[in-house]
Amino acid sequence: MIEPASLTKQVPVVHPDVFQLLVCPRDKQDLKCEGRHLVCEQGHRYAVIEGIPILLVSDVQQTHIEGTRALAVAESGDASTLANFKLGQNDIDPFVQGTIGATNGGLYQHLVGTLTEYPIPLLRLPPGENRWFLEIGCNWGRWCIAAARSGYRAIGIDPSLKSIRAANRVTKQLGIEATYIVADGRYLPFRDQSLDQVFSYSVLQHLSQANTLATLSEIRRTLLDGGNALVQLPNVYGIRCLYHQIRRGFREPRDFEVRYWKPAELLAAFEARIGPAKLTVDGFFSLNVQPNDLRMLLPRYRAIVHASEALRRLSVKLPILTKVADSLYVTSQRIE
């Protein structure tokens, strides 16, 4: 293991405590710094760009085009093609301004280019009490920021270097401490049984079933005994979900299109790959809208959110509503 003082000099974005958790995503061996790379004993090398480790496995097909682009930057060592922003205290990051409709969903499309504040969601988890929190597919960091504010030691991974750079900028601008790494949920670069809580929202829905199952297996490997996973996924029987399936003729999804899961399939997959699982309702009529963002939404969208929240609260007393909710949370616990 590398000493923290040396690490701080060579890999300034990664906190020494986080570095102690990192391993090679291929063989899970220790990493050490060699110039601008992290290297394991088997000789696997991972570039560090602007202090951000690119811990992607290069010889497998990437799940997103941004993973391929991140690997290209890592290979060349040239980040000059990446835009560089210096944010003022009241600025909104241009990357977030441009991608808010994609990261937060269609109900946020009118906010593209007009954001005046960051939409930070409410994390439906107990207080962190300094426990380790990993978000898979963090994009610009909104859930990691929510986790850090709730007392977790937050780490976010995403295959997009552009997203990770934005997450670093926004988190620093808000005075939040969190660590972001370019990585892949199928090949988590963390030690066995090192994390307390793993979280993912609106991400695994874009992966094939095989890639999702691989990610679930990696989640179990990295969770401590008694650790928990909380993952959002869409329900095949949800009203909105059915509408979109009808629109595409119930054909098999392609590329980054949404995959819809049956509730029984979700429970079976999580119980087989992680541990005991249960379903709860995240929302109706949408896959991504957050009640905390009501003030930002158009009036007609606020009505959707109010209706969704009313049904979500009712689902606690009437669990049958879970079967027709559009957005579901799966909670699963690793138990030896």
Same domain, yes or no, for 10 and 57? yes
Same domain, yes or no, for 153 and 209? yes
Same domain, yes or no, for 14 and 119? no
Rounded to two decimals, the pTM is 0.94
Backbone angles phi, psi at 116, to 5 degrees: -115, -5
Provide the pLDDT for residue 79: 77
Provide the pLDDT for residue 90: 85
Same domain, yes or no, for 61 and 185? no
Report d(CA 212, CA 308) in Å as an integer: 27
> pLDDT grade, residue 13 (50/70/90)?
low
Question: For 194-244, how does the pLDDT look when each residue is reduced to its tens digit (9 = 90+)?
Answer: 999 999 999 999 999 999 999 999 999 999 999 999 999 999 999 999 999
> What is the β-pairing status of strands 223-234 and 327-333?
antiparallel
Question: For 264-301, how does the pLDDT look when each residue is reduced to its tens digit (9 = 90+)?
Answer: 999 999 999 999 999 999 999 998 889 999 999 999 99
In Å, what is the CA distance from 264 to each residue of 233, 251, 321?
13, 21, 14
Mean pLDDT across the stretch 87-112? 92
Q: Which domain holds residue 59?
A: 4-76
Mean pLDDT across the stretch 23-45? 95
Provide the pLDDT for residue 179: 97
Mean pLDDT across the stretch 110-130? 96
Same domain, yes or no, for 304 and 206? yes
Share of the chain above pLDDT 70, in %: 96
Provide the pLDDT for residue 14: 81
> pLDDT grade, residue 262 (50/70/90)?
very high
Same domain, yes or no, for 58 and 116? no
pLDDT surpassing 60 at residue 12: no
Domain assignment present for residue 85? The answer is: no
Q: What is the mean pLDDT of the chain?
A: 93
Share of the chain above pLDDT 90, in %: 89
pLDDT surpassing 90 at residue 336: no
pLDDT surpassing 70 at residue 1: no
* SS3 per-residue string spanning the chain: CCCHHHHHHHCCCCCHHHHCCECCCCCCCCCEEECCEEECCCCCEEEEECCEEEECCCCCCCCCHHHHHHHHHHHHCCCCCCCCCCCCCCCCCHHHHHHHHHHHCHHHHHHCCCCCCCCCCCCCCCCCCCCEEEEECCCCCHHHHHHHHCCCEEEEEECCHHHHHHHHHHHHHCCCCEEEEEEECCECCECCCCEEEEEECCCHHHCCHHHHHHHHHHHHHHEEEEEEEEEEEEECCCHHHHHHHHHCCCCCCCCCCCCCECHHHHHHHHHHHCCCEEEEEEECCCCCCCHHHHHHCCHHHHHHHHHHHHHHHHHHHCHHHHHHCCEEEEEEECCC
pLDDT surpassing 50 at residue 40: yes
Same domain, yes or no, for 70 and 106? no
CATH at residue 211: 3.40.50.150
Provide the pLDDT for residue 156: 98
Same domain, yes or no, for 113 and 239? yes
Same domain, yes or no, for 154 and 182? yes
Same domain, yes or no, for 69 and 101? no
CA angle 179, 182, 184 (to 5 degrees): 115
Domain assignment present for residue 84? The answer is: no
Domain assignment present for residue 166? The answer is: yes
Provide the pLDDT for residue 82: 75
Residues 6+ apart with CB under 8 A from 6: 33
Domain assignment present for residue 200? The answer is: yes
> Left if phi > 0, otherwise alpha if psi is -120 to 50, otherwise beta: which for 81?
alpha
Same domain, yes or no, for 105 and 203? yes
